[in-house]
Amino acid sequence: MSEPGTAERPSSALRKVLLPLALAQFICSFAGSNMNVMINDISEDLNTTVQGVQIAITIFLLVMAALMIPGGKLTDRYGRKRCLNVGLAVYGIGALMSALAPGLGILILGNSILEGIGTALLIPPVYILTTMLFTDVASRARAFGRINGMGGIGSATGPLIGGLIATAISWRAAFVFQVLVIVVIVVLSRRYLRDPLPPDPTRPFDTVGAILSAVGLILVVLGILAADNNGWLMLGLILAGFLFLAWFFLWIRAKERAGQEALLSTALFRNRTSNLGLVTQNVEWLVLLGVSFVVSAFLQVVRGYNAIQTGLILTAATIGLLLSSLTAERLAKRRTQRTLIVAGFVLTIAGIVVFLILVGLSKGVWAFLPGLFLIGVGIGCMLTPSVNVVQSSFGEEMQGEISGLSRSVSNLGSSLGAAIAGTILVASLTTSPGRSYALALIVLAAISVIGLVAAAMLPARPAPPTTVGSTGQPGRPDTRGEAEPHPSG
């Protein structure tokens, strides 16, 4: 199959290549948010609590974040398409188990563990294949726009679709829906996708590095989840997590100095543009999932709305995200990536402020809509350029590593968003619902300011992507397949 991404490739062929990739991102993002509107239904059916369901949601996001880096690295050894298909199979089994779960334990095993592992295996190939196949700036912006747009739509429409299915049939049917989508993706993948590079079965895999990075990330998020129970436990877990991450960095640096291939090249962390882009990615997904969880919980627990009513209200964010995501290519031609990311954070913060003011003044449903719409527009405006900034910072030989790191950072943001928001709400929602809900959104707005600062520090025109050798030393700029200097950077 000839490479897509050239100017001559017809749009119909591009859509065929992008369809399974975009659907894969959609279903994984959908899985991360659709349970928010089914909190009451699931907790009652499985005889558990709101906090128990929140833990299941957070573990799913956490497993993705912890395993995304190893998942990205495995693509070099076993092939991008093979990892994609294995991930789809594991995910499908997990979704089917969740649909049949008799209790919280099986739900966590199916949804949180197996779906999380499947996602970690299938998402890195989505971004690696996109970067490899779409080589010029315009086509890559278009491709990432479609994929990230579908990811954002999955997160934003998860509550609506999940609410509709849960209300009309059962919350279990929402997992059956996921299985059906997985089957469609497998069929489309077999028909249209080709791996542009052969796998290298002899390539070593850093098992120790994978364990250290996963344990570190898990401990950090568990520490945040423990905040409402024990302050010392929270501090202890977070400190232990950072110590494991420091151990991980020292480990990979030692392997590089010994001339061995590590799980990640330390050179990835020496690219200033990529580092800033990773910060913006983390904050974007943290805010998106955090806001979704806060609003969903407030509408159901405090206002007493059912799943479908909650999903319909959250549709305002979906519409805003869809409108801005689908214009990614057009915006990339007119504005720099830095400008788009900065504008996205400004709109998101403004949306949270408007949301708090209007909901504080009125108890009507309309008060939720303007703020949610602005938040959706803001998130959608910056999803694509932030990914493009990071993925385009390195050459093809580093796409497995940077894709795994990028998706891990983004999913860590998702798990942190659910953990932080959930911890604030669970701590005092029953005694002071209005105050705890407002506090959670204020915290998310403050975190958005961190993303805004990082975005403002991005260079207007990033340098060409660099190559990195197996020992982690940067090589010469890699300009293969790059277009001429472009306003989008």
d(CA 165, CA 150): 20
Residues 341 and 201 in one domain: yes
Contacts (Cβ under 8 Å, ≥6 apart) of 364? none
Instruction: Answer whether residue 468 is part of any domain.
Output: no
Q: What is the percent of the chain with per-residue pLDDT over 90, rounded to a whole number?
A: 23
Of 134, 156, 125, the closest CA to residue 377 belongs to: 156
User: What was the pLDDT predicted at 228?
Assistant: 60
* SS3 per-residue string spanning 221-239: HHHHHHHHCCHHHHHHHHH
**How many domains does the chain contain in total?**
2
Query: Is the pLDDT reported for residue 382 higher than 80?
Result: yes
Share the mean pLDDT of the chain. 80
Residues 123 and 213 in one domain: no
Q: At 329, which helix (H) or strand (E)?
A: helix 328-334
Six-digit token pair at 252?
């990979």
* 145 within 8 A of 384, measured Cβ to Cβ: yes
69, pLDDT greater than 90? no
pLDDT 10s digits, 141-200: 677 777 877 776 777 677 778 778 888 888 899 899 999 999 999 999 888 887 777 777
pTM of the model as a whole: 0.74
DSSP characters over 416-478: HHHHHHHHHHHHHTTT-HHHHHHHHHHHHHHHHHHHHHHHHTS-SSPPPPEEE-TTS-EEEE-
Per-residue confidence at 99, pLDDT binned at 50, 70, 90?
very high
Same domain, 98 and 244: no
Q: Which of 47, 372, 307 is nearest to 174 (CA)?
A: 307
pLDDT tens across 121-155, in order? Answer: 988 888 888 877 776 666 766 777 778 777 767 77
- CA 276/CA 264 separation, integer angstroms: 18
**Residue 431 confidence (pLDDT) above 70:** no
State pLDDT tens for residues 189-244. Answer: 888 887 777 777 888 888 898 899 889 888 887 787 676 666 678 788 889 999 99
Instruction: For residue 485, name the pLDDT band (cuts at 50, 70, 90).
Output: very low
Residue 273 maps to a domain: yes
Tens digits of residue pLDDT in 326-359: 776 677 777 888 889 999 999 999 999 999 999 8
| Domain containing residue 413 | 12-205+263-458
Task: Measure CA 342 to chain center.
Answer: 19
pLDDT of residue 479: 38
| Residue in this structure with the two tokens 């690696």, named with its chain if needed | 128
Q: What is the CATH number of the domain that holds 279?
A: 1.20.1250.20
**Residue 484: per-residue pLDDT:** 32
In the predicted structure, residue 460 carries a pLDDT above the cut 80 = no
Instruction: Identify the helix (H) or strand (E) that includes residue 315.
Output: helix 307-326
In this structure, are 305 and 448 located in the same domain?
Answer: yes
**What pLDDT score was predicted for residue 361?**
85
132 inside domain: yes
Distance of CA 95 to the CA centre of its chain: 19
Report which of residues 416 and 427 the model is more confident about. 416
Q: Is residue 479 assigned to a domain?
A: no
Q: Is the per-residue pLDDT at 486 higher than 70?
A: no
76 & 221 share domain: no
